[in-house]
A and B are shown apart, each in its own frame.
Chain A
Amino acid sequence: MTSASTPSRAPSLGRPPLLLLLPGSLGAALLVVPLVALVLDTPWSDLGTQLADPAVRDALWLSALTSALTVGLCVLLGTPLAWLLARVEFPGRRLLRGLVAVPLVLPPVVAGVALVAALGRNGLVGAPLLAATGWTIPYTTAAVVLAHTFVSLPFFVLSVEGALRTAGERFDVVAATLGADRWTTFRRVTLPSALPGLAAGCVLAWARSLGEFGATITFAGNFPGTTQTMPSLIYTTLQADPAAARTLSMLLLVVSIGVLVGLRRRWLGTP
């Protein structure tokens, strides 16, 4: 009676096969259990004391500063690069696009070593820079930002380039017939229509930057106050005081999720 008057379920194609159900559930567990363990295992009462610790405050501040600077650099350098890749025909464009994507798959430690090779005291660019200006980059806050930008920029560029390609050239064409030069077209037509992609790229770059550890510790070191970001601090703390490391990890998790949710509301217009 009830089953006839109220459709209880959609017409079934059959039960999910165990061969898919079991590995799928296992995969979900692998992703969720560590997060749950972290939440359950965090000594929440320590949070206040942790936040009062100057080392923690320094690391938090440095993480906030470097990730913000990284996003800024990505926008300034990555947007024009994405535009070039999406809109201008030049020899080696495909090769360049491939090279831009390499840091996506590069182990972060290798990225750090590559940065040392380029910008270290004896590096390809670093040595002449030292000779000419007396500046050294490794083990400074600038090195942290450069390492972060190196690993984050591909996420940003590919996201913006995708948006530019999706928007297509048709608006650029109409703008040109209306008398706009390429800079005007970029500023008033191309960029506004790619804004969602730009926003998504910023979020991706920021998230990648906030969690960056391998390239940073290799190229910039782990000095409290100048190059010790939250991930580096957590790594250092874990060896001496695992409970404190869990609290700090929790802090980082909460901050990341909080900012992601906030940006989602503001930029993507979804509740």
Chain B
Amino acid sequence: MSCHREGLDLDVRVPGRLTAALGTGPGEVVAVIGPNGAGKSTLLSAVAGLLPVAGRITVDGRDWNAPPLPVRERGVGLVPQDRSLFPHLSALENVAFGLRARGARPGPARARAQEWLDRLGVGDLGRRRPHELSGGQAQRVALARALVTDPAVLLLDEPFAGLDVGVATSLRIALAEHLASYPGVTLLVTHDALDALTLADRVVVLDGGEVAQTGTPREVAARPRTEHVARLVGLNVVADRDVRRSFPPSAVTVSLTRPEGSARLTWRGRVAGTTPHGDALRLLVVTDAGPELLADVTPAAAVDLGLTAGREVWLTVKATATTTDTMRP
């Protein structure tokens, strides 16, 4: 499409669902994370032009929202969560569809489609119908279909959802390769911290329809500002007066009686659940003060203290073991 890439700069409002501002350079991959209902899919729909929005969506210097550009005139490549491959068309025809719709002759369109299937490692599956493809293969075909039209913005909605771990890993590697050479902007909605950390240049955290945090994956992982992200990266995060403290579950001490000593942060709560985590046992504790905290204990300690669900415990963490961060105004 356009060869002049300037990236994506948006400031949009969907009443009752999303208020978000975001600026990214060309070629950047932005991971959009947040709990269900945070507005992730709404953000993708807004960029694709699938719902009415107020504000500005500037792509490569052109505002897609003034006046709202029809979906088909925006250069977006959409890979929905269910992939939505056209069921009656072969994999090859699915990929060629966008080129044909834009006026390419059948022959050249098929040739380019085949090229993209080859690039994504599914070149030998071109004649199959979508129902004859596995989840990972279908996702590769859907990616090829979105990328073949050279979109200015690539929208990926949970591309690894519902795939086996091994399949997801090889697909993640293939995707990382293509995103590295892709000149457009990628918005990647994900539930997985690994996706954000391995694929993204920037992370946008949505919470309750607003941007809660933006930064590099490293910054966001080290200093999560929302409980959701803290859970994703396996950290505890608590608000303590005007600072936000984050600390790993391994820094938490568990005891059955109120601990002595100063310079400590202390909570009382009840064990809500336990899961194995490496060599340790990870407790989820619902504290009386509100936040749910994670604490790692050795299996032996768990037996000694009788740490089963419903048990009342005290949690402490040294202030020096926490990372503090001033709250947003």
Interface residues of A (CB under 8 A from B): 170-171, 173-181, 184, 188-189, 192-193, 195
Contact = CB atoms under 8 A, between A and B. Distances in A.
Contacts of B77: 177
Contacts of A179: 72-73, 98, 101-102, 149
A170 B98 contact: no
A176 B84 CA distance: 13
Nearest to B1: A179
B78 A184 contact: no
B101 A178 contact: yes
Given A184-B101, A188-B97, A177 B78 contact: yes
A176 B70 CA distance: 9
- Leading 10 A-B pairs by shortest Cβ distance: A178-B98, A180-B101, A176-B71, A192-B88, A177-B78, A179-B101, A179-B102, A176-B72, A170-B84, A174-B84
A177 B86 contact: no
B315 interface: no
B98 A173 contact: no
Contacts of B73: 179
B91 interface: no
Contacts of A176: 70-72
A181 B72 CA distance: 7
Contacts of A184: 101
A174 B155 CA distance: 11
B71 A173 contact: yes
Contacts, number: 60
Interface residues of B, number: 25
B82 interface: yes
B122 interface: no
B86 A171 contact: yes
Contacts of B97: 175, 178, 180, 188
Interface string B42-80: 000000101000000000000000000011111011101
- Among A174, A175, A181, A184, the most chain B Cβ lie within 10 Å of the Cβ of A174
Given A179-B72, A189-B86, A193-B87, A170 B80 contact: yes
Nearest to B98: A178
A195 B88 CA distance: 10
B80 to A, nearest CB: 6
A175 B82 CA distance: 15
B282 interface: no
Contacts of A181: 72, 101
B43 to A, nearest CB: 15
23 contacts: A171-B84, A171-B86, A173-B48, A173-B78, A173-B80, A174-B80, A174-B86, A175-B86, A176-B71, A177-B71, A177-B74, A177-B77, A177-B146, A178-B72, A178-B98, A178-B101, A180-B72, A180-B97, A180-B101, A184-B101, A188-B101, A192-B89, A195-B88
